[in-house]
Amino acid sequence: MSKERAVERIGIEPRVGRRIQRSLAGLATFARRQPLGAIGLVVIVASLLAAVLANWVAPYDPNVGTADDRLVGPSAKYFFGTDHQGRDQFSRIVYGTRISLMVSFFSIALGTGGGYLLGIISGYIGGKFDILFQRVMDAILAFPSLLLALVLVAVLSPGIDKVIIAIAIAYTPRAARVSRGVVLSLKENVYVDAARVIGASPTRIMLRHVLPNSLAPFLVLASVALGSAILTEAALSYLGLGVPPPHSSWGQMMSGAAQSFATIAPWLIIFPGVAIAVLVLGFNLFGDALRDVWDPKLRGR
C-alpha cells in the first residue's frame, strides 16, 4: 500500500468510527427519552429481519403441509401449531411478515409520498389549481379508506400489485391535506421570501427550501400510515380480495377454514391476529415517538 493510500485510509477510518458513535449515542438518547418509541423500533427492526431472512427463520415450507400433522397444537416441533392442511403456522406467519411489510411500504411510498408531493405543489401554487385539487381530495376522503380500497380491488381484480395501488389511492388524500397545510405556513417564512426576491424559480424554492423543511411531518405521517396500511391489507385478504394464494397473508390465514376450525384449533386465529396487532402497535408507537421528538412544543420535555 502506498503512503498516500495509507494516510487516506487512516483519515477515513476515524471519521467512520465517529459517525457510528454518534449514531449509537443518538439511538441511546432516543431510547432513554422515548422508551415506547424504542420498543416500537425494536418490533419494526425485528419484523424487517424476519421478512428479509424468512428463508432461514422459517423452519418449514409455508405452502407444504403434512397430512399426519393436521391441526396439531403448539409444540416444540410446531411453535404455533399447524392448520387443516398440516402447514406450519409459524412459518406461514414469518412469510406473511414479508407480504404485509412489502404491501404496506410500497402502498405508503406511492400513496403518502405521492400525495405529500401533490399537496406541496397544490399549496405552493394556490389559486384555482389548489381549489380544484382540494375538491378532488375531498371527494376521495368522503369514502372510508377500507371501503374505497375494497371497491378498487374489486374493480381491478385481486393481486399484490392491485392491492398496493388500491391502498395507495385510499391514503393519498390524507397526505395531500397534511402537506398542503405545512406548505401554507412554510411559504410565508422569511427565507422563502428572500429566495423569491433573488429570482429563484418556484421549482427551486419548493425543492431547496419547502420540501426539506416539510420532511419531518411526512416521516411521522408515513410511520403511522404504515400501521393502518397493514390493517387494510389484512382486512382485504380476510375478505378474499387481498393477496391471493399461495402467498401467506395474515388476513387470509384468519379467514376461510380457520373460522371453521376456530373452536378446536383457536391458534389458527390467535397467532395471526397477535402478529397483526404487535406490528401495527410497533409502527404506531414509533410514529408517536417521532412526533414528540420533532414537535417544537414537546422538544424541551
pLDDT tens, 124-157? 888 888 889 888 888 888 888 888 888 888 888 7
pLDDT of residue 274: 93
pLDDT of residue 23: 65
Rg (CA), the chain: 24
Q: Give residue 5's identity as a one-letter amino acid code.
A: R
pLDDT of residue 120: 84
Place of cell 391489507: 233
Q: Cα dihedral sign for 260, 270, 282, 288?
A: positive
Domain positions in the chain are: 1-33, 36-294
DSSP state letter for 88: B
Q: Take residue 63 and report the three cell numbers written for it.
A: 405452502
8: pLDDT strictly greater than 60: no
Cα–Cα dist 129/146, whole Å: 28
CB under 8 Å to 272, separation ≥6 — which residues?
89, 93, 96, 250, 251, 253, 254, 258
pLDDT averaged over every residue in the chain = 82
Cα–Cα dist 282/237, whole Å: 21
pTM of the model: 0.82
Q: Give residue 26's identity as a one-letter amino acid code.
A: G
Architecture of domain 36-294: Orthogonal Bundle (1.10)
Q: What is the pLDDT of residues 159-215, one digit of tens each?
A: 788 889 989 988 888 888 888 888 887 777 777 777 777 877 777 777 777 777 777
